[in-house]
Amino acid sequence: MDGKKDIPPALSRTRFLEHYATQSDAIPVFTDGSNSDAALEWLYLLTKRGYRVLFCWVPGHVGVIGNEHADGLAKEAASRAPPSAPVPFRDVFQSIRLVIAARW
């Protein structure tokens, strides 16, 4: 698996996990099953860090209307840099507290 296509850059992945872990009891991983190696690596990485993982199967190329267009848009979005926006200090502080508490 190449980190560019299957998994966002490490910093983005860490931010995503820290945010999602505080918002949900399970992290969803959406897959059509065509790249089971990537799905297994996601499962390993997330469960190793104590996260619950919810795999969601989505149909691949099985005649779903608009699927080709959606694939094109997804590939285009994946090739762009992740958006960034100012984060209020209170949000960062909460994430830091959670990480410190988990490691304490």
Break the chain into its structural domains and give their ranges: 10-103
Q: How does DSSP classify residue 82?
A: P
Helix (H, G, I), strand (E, B) or coil at 38: helix
Do the beta carbons of residue 35 and residue 1 sit within 8 Å? yes
Instruction: Give me the tens of pLDDT residue by residue for the chain, a chain 104 residues long.
Output: 444 444 445 545 566 666 666 666 777 777 777 777 777 787 788 788 787 888 777 776 667 777 778 878 888 887 887 777 777 777 777 778 888 888 87
